[in-house]
Amino acid sequence: MELMGKPLISHVFEKVEEIGDEVLIVVGSLDQEEPLLRLFDDKVKIVADSGELQGPLVGALAGFENALGEYSLLLPCDTPFLSREVLTLLFDISVGVDAVIPRWPEGYIEPLQAVYRTRPALLAARKVLAEEKTNMRSILPLLKRVRYLSTIVLEEVDPQLKTFFNVNTMVDLKRAQRIGGPNRQKKR
């Protein structure tokens, strides 16, 4: 799906390419590899999840298994307005903990836009997937130290919290076009 003339995943890539040492894209099957390789050349590593189970944790496991760094930033491919400042803050406060996860005032968490210490997250993911649990929240009790970061704090660097806006429907896509439209195109 395209937004402002480029695939949604390109918006995500542009925000993270300078933050980490490597960028992994996890796909459901290797059939999806070719178009992504054309789009990103050798700037990313593409890995396929096992395909045995469905769910976000299955993809996260494939990422953790292939990540080289001590910490991994886990992100969905449909969040075009990620804030580099928010992502950097998550990394900055991840030292000494197994995960940094944004949390809304009412308690809802954002485990798919979080930083994980790779090795503990990998071990936890393997364990819960063996029990056929596929939700990211399933690994949290197995991590020793989880730091929750209030979205109230994140509003200091992303006042409208657009970093959490994701595109799941055509209505979301139209809204994203309104959000990113004129201001983005004037920045030439």
CATH of the domain at 51: 3.90.550.10
* The pLDDT value given to residue 185: 40
Of 108, 125, 150, 142, nearest to 55 by C-alpha is 125
Residue 21's domain comprises 2-185
In angstroms, the first-to-last Cα distance of the chain is 23
Does 186 score more than 50 pLDDT? no
Tokens of 103: 């949390």
Report the number of distinct structural domains present in the chain.
1
**Residue 124: CB partners within 8 Å, gap ≥ 6?**
139, 142, 143
Q: What percentage of the chain carries pLDDT values higher than 70?
A: 96
Give 21: exposed, middle or buried? Use CB within 10 Å, 0-12, 13-18, 19+. Answer: exposed
Q: How confident is the model at residue 181 (pLDDT cuts 50, 70, 90)?
A: low
* The pLDDT value given to residue 188: 30
Tokens of 187: 């920045």
Q: Contact, 45 vs 23, CB < 8 A?
A: yes
Does 104 score more than 60 pLDDT? yes
User: Averaged over 81-88, what is the pLDDT?
Assistant: 94
CA distance 125 to 128: 5
